[in-house]
Amino acid sequence: MTGERDRSDSFAIAGSGVYLPQRVVTARELDALTNRPEGSTAASFHLRERRWASPAETSSQMGAWAAEAALAEAGWDRASLDVILGACGVMEQPIPGTSVLIQRRLGLGDSGIPAFDINATCLSFLLALDHVLTGFSIGRWRRALIVSADIASAALDFSDPEASVLFGDGAAAFALEANGPHVRLAYRFNTYGEAADVCRLEAGGTRLRPDEDFDAFMAHSKFHMEGRGVFRATSRRFGGFLAGLLSTAGISPADLDVVIPHQASAAGLEHLKRAIPSGDEKVVDIFADIGNQIATSLPFAWHVARQRGLLHPGRHGLIIGTSAGVSLGGAVIRW
Amino acid sequence: MTGERDRSDSFAIAGSGVYLPQRVVTARELDALTNRPEGSTAASFHLRERRWASPAETSSQMGAWAAEAALAEAGWDRASLDVILGACGVMEQPIPGTSVLIQRRLGLGDSGIPAFDINATCLSFLLALDHVLTGFSIGRWRRALIVSADIASAALDFSDPEASVLFGDGAAAFALEANGPHVRLAYRFNTYGEAADVCRLEAGGTRLRPDEDFDAFMAHSKFHMEGRGVFRATSRRFGGFLAGLLSTAGISPADLDVVIPHQASAAGLEHLKRAIPSGDEKVVDIFADIGNQIATSLPFAWHVARQRGLLHPGRHGLIIGTSAGVSLGGAVIRW
């Protein structure tokens, strides 16, 4: 499994959009929330601020606003969409999925347009993109909408700064079209379930039930992360993973022009910058102001790269990240 | 969107397996739980018993046991799997996904085999099957494992018999291989988000939070279904949906030899039997003893059809169902 050479995964980005919640939470507020000295959050975690969703800014509402922006840029009749894919880290509610709620918010509730969700926590967007590109390559779909939306602030444990201040809320959406200038040269996704416990949110599924054992439910209702465990599970595999991906794409690390990573943490981004030649210039880093938005980080950073004019035709881009699981995922795209 | 003619979606079933929880709940016990006269559950809902999972029978554990059975029949070295897809209605926990937990339980935690989840509530298996067949058709994968596991009993509201006694727990898994005798002739999936509220489970995602409004959380922690709303949303679309699907497959309703449906309810199954010529003989109906297992029903009924010897070479099978969303989904397969 060193990756896969894609033969016909060409596509166009017809539009992209993001949504950030109104409420700004500063690093100083996070100092207070985590009960640490003033200035320590900014210094330790290299962040300025986070955005947190209000009750009115639900996952599907933020996702729909991001999707509206993407569709406005695309200029499409939205009824021409062939599929709406939800690619969230955690869904708004278990039944039905966020993609369905977004379909309804977009005024497409009577359209019949297929809406479903793909979940691989922080790499859900990468998997959804793969599903869409595969659908394009076999001629099934011509126009697809992928929406990521996450509210990490719904489940943060501030007694553990490392597992809480990293995260921010938001949404990002891409309107993609078949047969465009961009070509995915390689794709790779590997899961190592032996590290399933290093990033986990246990309450909210079929196992823990608030009416059976309320204390156990509440004790597991916050996101739990063992930073060292994540590092151990991913770092020893990262070099080989990246080498395999680039080899499949037929390029060397120096050929990469832009790197669009999941915004896991400042330390993770520094690691990546050192692994890529001229990484400081090439890696899109929005961690200080936006943070780790779970599945939304990847499309959000990609949208920022578009806005910054980094995706020139012919350039090589790397999309890469890790997710709870743990999984490593990436793609090489020629713009 | 009348469906899609698949050109090369051929596959083999190398193995399948199911798991049913040990605990049997009789119709009489359900009479008591729903506070109704003895015999009324059996009479009103045409059921004999249900199975409910114990705390040790988690979604991933039941899924792994079903997967073990499927892999045993396949006789594969499990390390040769190219992908493990989770296709549950509701996951065991939000992070990481059930597919990852199953990968670990299968002893594949260090394998790197991609594991992720697809969610379309009761039709998740149909979507996962589509993803696998597409991956087969482009040559990406040769061996895939799809696992559905659901614990409906985790969130039943017995004050509403119609939305509770229908459901049972369990798991089902299929080990599929590329380029086999079976050919998917047509596939169709349509979503109508305007009916998103008729089947819903609201607590367990990013919107409702037990530490912010405990009462609201608990008030929405049970599955809610408006049977009449489901019927209204699906019945008027079902005829056209089925006709489009069969037309794409190039067959007539009379050509169908076996129908493998989602086991939504006794009434839904009766409806289907009337819509298909000789439906009484052709529709696989396991509702009385197994019930609606959310996403697990479809592969469970498919496994039963295999065991009963219904999938003779050359026969035409219809896989069909509805899901919260609401969505209608189906496929025509030539065995």
Q: What is the average pLDDT across A267-287?
A: 96
Domain boundary among B137, B155, B180: B180
CB–CB of B303/B146 below 8 Å?
Answer: no
CATH number of A319's domain: 3.40.47.10
With an 8 Å Cβ cutoff, are B217 and A210 in contact?
A: yes
Pair (B162, B228) in one structural domain: no
Pair (B119, B53) in one structural domain: yes
Residues A82-95: tens digit of each pLDDT: 999 999 999 999 99
Q: Quick one: closest CA in B to A115, which residue?
A: B191
Residues A13-42: tens digit of each pLDDT: 999 999 999 999 999 999 999 999 999 999
Q: Does B109 touch chain A (CB under 8 A)?
A: yes
Pair (A194, A225) in one structural domain: yes
Pair (B111, B174) in one structural domain: yes
Pair (B118, B251) in one structural domain: no
pLDDT at B8: 62
CB–CB of A134/A152 below 8 Å?
Answer: no
Q: Does B61 touch chain A (CB under 8 A)?
A: no
Residues B112-125: tens digit of each pLDDT: 999 999 999 999 99
Domain boundary among B140, B162, B180: B180
pLDDT at B9: 82
Pair (B231, B270) in one structural domain: yes
d(CA A71, CA B326): 24
With an 8 Å Cβ cutoff, are B327 and A218 in contact?
A: no
Pair (A292, A164) in one structural domain: no
CB–CB of B44/B266 below 8 Å?
Answer: no
Residues B71-98: tens digit of each pLDDT: 999 999 999 999 999 999 999 999 999 9
Nearest to B117 among A119, A151, A199 (CB): A119
Q: What is the average pLDDT across B279-298?
A: 97
The residues, ordered by sequence, that sit 6+ positions from B276 with a Cβ below 8 Å of its Cβ are: B253, B256, B259, B282, B283, B318
Q: Which comes out higher in pLDDT, residue A210 or B305? A: B305
Q: For residue B144, what are the domain limits? A: 4-180
Pair (B194, B175) in one structural domain: no
pLDDT at B7 over 50: no
| Strand segments (E) across chain A | 4-5, 10-19, 23-26, 49-52, 83-86, 115-119, 143-150, 170-178, 182-191, 199-200, 224-225, 258-261, 316-323, 327-334
Contacts of B96 in chain A (CB under 8 A): 121, 193, 196, 199-200, 323-326
Domain boundary among B125, B148, B180: B180
Overall number of domains in chain B: 2
d(CA A335, CA B42): 62
**Gap from A106 CA to chain B (nearest CA, Å):** 10
Instruction: Say if strands B316-323 and B327-334 run parallel, antiparallel, or are unpaired.
Output: antiparallel
Residue keyed to tokens 């989904």: B329
Pair (A175, A253) in one structural domain: no
Bridge partners of A225, per DSSP, are A199
Pair (B99, B237) in one structural domain: no
ipTM of the complex: 0.96
d(CA A170, CA A189): 24
Pair (B147, B232) in one structural domain: no
Pair (B190, B86) in one structural domain: no
